[in-house]
Amino acid sequence: MGDCKNSRLADNVAHRYGMPCGISSGGREQSVRRSSGPAKTRDACHTTSTVFCPNCKRAMTPLFVSFVCDFCDGLATDSSYHCGFVVWRKRPTPAEEYVFRTRQDAETWRAARALSTCEVVEVRSVHPFRWRTSTGSVPDLEMADALISIWPDHRFPAVPNNAFLVGSAA
């Protein structure tokens, strides 16, 4: 790959199969770029078009002529998730639910709403929740400022107000 002899081949394969063109040898941080003619130097193979995962819409890692989504394929670490808790009523997903900052707040709300048969489940999101203090029928609980769409697993669009169930609750 050092002199980009395979540039035209990669462009042809990419065009035929609807994939991004070019070959990246720069690793995970680099994105694939299209070459518009015969390569003169190694850097001539690289441009900046990014391909996104069809499931979660995150940038994908380039492979030879295919891509992998680190997030959907379980390669990403979960250290950057933001956590909350829901009273899981086992609705079809994605379900709109209240998310609470602590398990205790979720259990308090569950008891006040007479939902003792429902379990309190941890949820995680790639975007931080915006917390507020409740003022309704059960005051002084820390909860998200909007209903959150709860998904069964981590493969969902990475937009605010989306989270996924942790464990086997789905």
Percent of the chain with pLDDT over 70: 66
Q: What is the pLDDT of residue 167?
A: 77
Question: Per residue in 107-153, pLDDT tens?
Answer: 999 999 999 999 999 999 989 999 999 998 899 999 999 999 999 98
More confident residue, 157 or 10: 157
* Angle, vertex CA 48, rays to CA 44 and CA 49, nearest 5: 120
Q: What is the pLDDT of residue 14?
A: 45
Short-list 128, 124, 130, CA closest to 155: 124
- When pLDDT is averaged across residues 4-14 and rounded to a whole number, the result is 44
Structure tokens belonging to residue 97: 């639910």
* Angle, vertex CA 105, rays to CA 104 and CA 108, nearest 5: 85
Question: Per residue in 14-25, pLDDT tens?
Answer: 444 444 444 333
> Coil, helix or strand for 10?
helix
| C-alpha span between 97 and 26 (Å, rounded) | 42
**Per mean pLDDT, which of 30-44, 118-132, 153-167 is the most reliable?**
118-132
Short-list 123, 127, 128, CA closest to 97: 123
Which conformational region is residue 90 in: left (phi greater than 0), alpha (psi within -120 to 50 degrees), or beta?
Answer: left
> Mean pLDDT in the chain?
75
Q: Is the pLDDT of residue 27 over 70?
A: no
| C-alpha span between 148 and 163 (Å, rounded) | 7
Rg (CA), the chain: 22
